[in-house]
Amino acid sequence: MKVLVVDDSRAARMLVRSILREYDPSAEVLEVENGAQALETYRSASPDLVILDITMPVMDGFEALARIREADPDAKVVVLTADIQAQAVKRCEDLGALKVLKKLPKKETVFELLDSLGFKE
C-alpha cells in the first residue's frame, strides 16, 4: 500500500503516518505540505490512496482534489480536515472525495476506512 499524505501540519502528517504504519507496517507513506506538491507527487509516484487536508498554502485541498481527479478519474482521495461544515463536505464529495474525515482521526476510524477501500491484508 502506497499512501500520499498531504497536510501543511507536520504533526498531523506524523499522526496519519503512524496510524497507517500500525495498520500496515510495510506501507509506503509519502508526505507533502501543500496541494501543488501533492499533484506533482501523485503524478510521479501513483499512490494507491491520497489523504488530503483542505486548508493549506500554495494550493488548497479543493483545487488539489479537483486536479488529481482530473489527472486520474480513478484516484482514491480521502479528505482529512478540521473544516467539516456541510458545504465543505459537499464540495469535497462533489469533487470526487471518497470520504471526508474530521481531523484528527481515531485509528479505528482510519482502519475501518482502509478496510472498506480494500486495503485489508
- Identify the CATH number of the domain in which residue 109 sits: 3.40.50.2300
Q: Which residues contact 108 (CB under 8 A, 6 or more apart)?
A: none
- In angstroms, the CA 31 to CA 98 distance is 20
- Residue 121 within a domain: no
- Residue 43 within a domain: yes
Residue 84: pLDDT band with limits 50, 70, 90: confident
pLDDT at 97: 96
- Residue 67 within a domain: yes
Enclosing domain of residue 49: 2-116
Collapse the DSSP code of 114 into the 3-class scheme (helix H, G, I; strand E, B; otherwise coil) and give the result.
helix
- In angstroms, the CA 102 to CA 79 distance is 8
- In angstroms, the CA 54 to CA 80 distance is 7
**Total domain count, the chain:** 1
pLDDT at 121: 62
For residue range 23-78, what is the model confidence (pLDDT) as tens digits?
999 999 999 999 999 999 999 999 999 999 999 999 999 999 999 999 999 999 99
pLDDT at 120: 77
User: Is the alpha carbon torsion for 5, 70, 43, 22 positive or negative?
Assistant: positive
